[in-house]
Amino acid sequence: MNKTKILIIILIILIIVAVSFGVFMAYKTYRTPMQVENLEQAVKILTSEVENENDRMIKLAMYNELSKSFTMVDRHTNEKRKFSNEEMQEIYSNIGGKEAVLNYLQNINDDEKRRDQIQLAFDLKIIDKNDFDDLWHML
Amino acid sequence: MKKRKLIFNLSIYYIVGLILFTIISYIIHITLFSLLTDNTIIPLLELQMIPHNLFYFLPWYVGVYTIFFLLIAIIVHKYDKYMIKKLNEKLENMKGENKNEQN
């Protein structure tokens, strides 16, 4: 085997390893526990009753972030809290889910407020680009 | 002098490989992460985020690439040794054959 062949093989291996590592890092980043300033307070906010629609959107954004890893970590104390499937389902039904937010966004009468709320929902990653376009063009 | 050249060559291979490895891994990493989180990839934002992301993830990239580089270097070195040994054996056989022919 000559030098060029060895170099080509090493390059192919390098690309395969780089791609595999990229996949691993994407998964690892996705599964990273949700970092919070105060664990106790964050759990309390998430499990409390929904007070208004803004509150619902913020809680749903928190839920969406938490649903990637089911784990919350206190940034300062490194204390961890793992949520079970049942707990997550309970939180989701308590918040009302994405359907409740979509319903709320569709029923705002004031156009300016509606635009602001649609933008907020999009920024909080509650609605995707398709939902955003649909809601925006309904105006 | 030879040792210096070898170290210089290895350093060049390491740096070029690291850059290539980081670019490929980073593109796959960010693209897959965006797909997993249902985010659209906004090129301008991603470009702005590169320094921050690289600072955060670089130790991982460097660590994994260094292990990979060392493994490859060890394997290539062993392969080189094996080839030299094989060539020497062949040479010895040829020498033996030549001696027999001469006798």
pLDDT per position as a tens digit, B5-17: 888 988 999 999 9
Distance of alpha carbon B16 from alpha carbon B80, whole angstroms? 22
The pLDDT score that the predictor gives to residue B85 is 93
In chain B, % of residues over pLDDT 70: 93
pLDDT in tens, A85-121: 998 888 888 888 888 888 888 888 888 888 888 888 8
Amino acid letter for position A40: E
Residues B26-32, mean pLDDT to the nearest whole number: 89
Nearest residue on chain B to A67, judged by CA atoms?
B37
User: Which pLDDT tens digit goes with each residue over A7-36?
Assistant: 899 899 999 999 999 999 999 988 889 888
Q: What percent of chain A stands above pLDDT 90? A: 15
Q: Note whether B64 contacts A21, CB cutoff 8 Å.
A: yes
Residue A132 pLDDT grade (very low, low, confident, very high; cuts 50, 70, 90): confident
pLDDT of B102: 73
Contact across the interface for A17 and B21, Cβ inside 8 Å = yes
With contacts defined as CB-CB under 8 Å, which chain B residues touch A27? Answer: 32, 36
Q: Is the pLDDT of residue B21 over 90?
A: yes
**pLDDT on residue A23:** 95
Do residue A18 and residue B20 have CB atoms under 8 angstroms apart? yes
The model's confidence at residue B66, banded by pLDDT at 50, 70 and 90, is: very high
Among the listed residues A35, A19, A23, the one whose alpha carbon sits nearest the alpha carbon of residue B33: A23
